[in-house]
Amino acid sequence: MEHLIHLSNPIILRKSLEAVIQLAEQYKKEKGRIPVLMEVCGSHTMAFAKTGIKTRLKDHVRLIAGPGCPVCVTDQKSIDTMIELSRDTNRILCTFGDMVRVPGSKFSLMEAKTEGKDIRVVYSPLDSIKIAEENPEKEVIFLGIGFETTIPILVATIQEAEKKGLTNYTIWMTTKLVEPILRTLLNGKEINIDGFLLPGHVSVVTGKNSFDFLVKEYGISGVITGFEPVELLRAIYKLLQQLLSGKIEIINDYKYMVKNDGNIVAKKLMEKYLDYHDEAWRGIGVIQNSGFILKPEYAIFDAKKKFHVSVEEPRKTKCRCGEIIQGVITPEECILFSRGCTPLFPIGPCMVSTEGTCAAHYQYMKEG
């Protein structure tokens, strides 16, 4: 695919970068400060860091890493519960590679594995179905985390388990939704974000229209974009153009992947199997209807219904990730930063992700 190969053409990259900086300078001249943009998606954050775009733009555009890393926002209690689940030797826990590293209130799934717990990393949730078929005498539990891109895949896995009539397969769902967290951020007292770079792959499922509420209810613009350097720069350019013109709208700059209504098949499947559910976000707290749970009729596939484990309520902390994500305070203003909260022992999501705002500040501080 020639057009996809061209995305890394160095001449286009260089020109794109120049064009973005030029617009950002114009913004600075007109508004007296540099623009503040939030990339909602954790993979965008990673891409900005990896390509060096973030460093290159740091004097021209302030990029705030949003709440869109599903493992980072999984709260300590959920992880503690998952670890507790693994204590029974008759169980095999399966999950994504990202998940096993994230610490709960005491330790991570990886550390639980060293104690001999059967915890397996899979690439596709469908692989966990195979594990359930091969181990009929064991209970196989998939730790289902993810945003809207991943949720349909979890549901498809349940559908497969249903088709195969598996009775030893369940999912422990702790999923997160984009709209409720964006609303929570925007409802905050002070909010300091000029526009959003919207998650391309979530939009593949939810569709462009799912972000209309940003324009209608909050009067804020956003650009849906992909993950290649050119796509990222193009999106910043278009968002800055928007901010300068004063026009407020959602631009779908990822049309080749994202439709207005998203993926109808995936949405229908989610509707069939799932109900809304209040989810706890690490460092932010419980947000109403910010996740999904299996409908009561699918209780036999719901690990939360099948297994009863209870863990202690983790200690309340003074974590201020919520405000950091809102762009209201800098990490240094949080009392825990670099004292009670470090990359090795992170409290909030901004320190869990290596590219999270706090982890990045911590690294910078150590180097500087």
Partner 1 sequence: MCIGVPAKVIKIKAEKALVDVMGSKMFVGIVFVPEVQLNDFVLLHAGQAMTIVDEKFAKESMEEWRNIMNGTSDTFI
Partner 2 sequence: MVQRISLTHGEGGELTHRLIKDVFIKSFGNLQHTQLDAAIIKLNASKLAVTTDCYVVKPLFFPGGDIGKLAITGTVNDLAVSGATPQAITAGFILEEGFPLRQLKLIVKSMAEEAKKAGVSIIAGDTKVVEKGSVDGLFINTTGIGFIKETHQLYPENISVGDMVIVSGTVGDHGIAIVSAREELGLMTDVQSDCASLNHLLQELLEKVDGIRVMRDPTRGGVSTSLVELCEELHCTIELEDSSIPIRQEVEGACDILGFDPLYLANEGKVLLIVDKNQIDCVLDILQNHELGKDAKVIGQITECQKEEGKVLLKTPIGSTRRLFRLSGLLLPRIC
**Interface ranges with partner 2 (CB under 8 A):** 8, 10, 13-14, 17, 42-43, 46, 49-53, 55-56, 69-71, 96-98, 100-101, 110, 121-124, 127, 146, 150, 229, 354, 367
Task: Choose among partner 2, partner 1, none what residue 199 binds, the Cβ cut-off being 5 to 8 Å by kind.
Answer: partner 1
327-366 positions binding partner 1, by CB under 8 A: none
- CA-to-CA distance for 48 and 46, rounded, in angstroms? 6
Q: To which residue do tokens 């598996």 refer? A: 166
Task: Choose among partner 1, partner 2, none what residue 292 binds, the Cβ cut-off being 5 to 8 Å by kind.
Answer: none
Nearer to partner 1, 282 or 334 (CB): 282
Nearer to partner 1, 255 or 295 (CB): 255
Q: Does 9 bind partner 1 (CB under 8 A)?
A: yes
226-285 positions binding partner 1, by CB under 8 A: 227, 230, 234, 237, 253, 255-259, 263, 265-266, 269
Contacts of 98 (CB under 8 A, 6+ apart): 70, 71
State the nearest-atom distance from the C-beta of 114 to partner 2, in Å.
12
Task: Choose among partner 2, partner 1, none what residue 121 binds, the Cβ cut-off being 5 to 8 Å by kind.
Answer: partner 2
Q: Does 68 bind partner 1 (CB under 8 A)?
A: yes
Q: Does 127 bind partner 1 (CB under 8 A)?
A: yes
Binding site for partner 1 (CB under 8 A): 1-4, 6-7, 9, 11-12, 15-16, 18-19, 22, 40-44, 68-70, 96, 123-127, 146-147, 149-150, 152-153, 156, 159, 178, 199-202, 204-205, 227, 230, 234, 237, 253, 255-259, 263, 265-266, 269
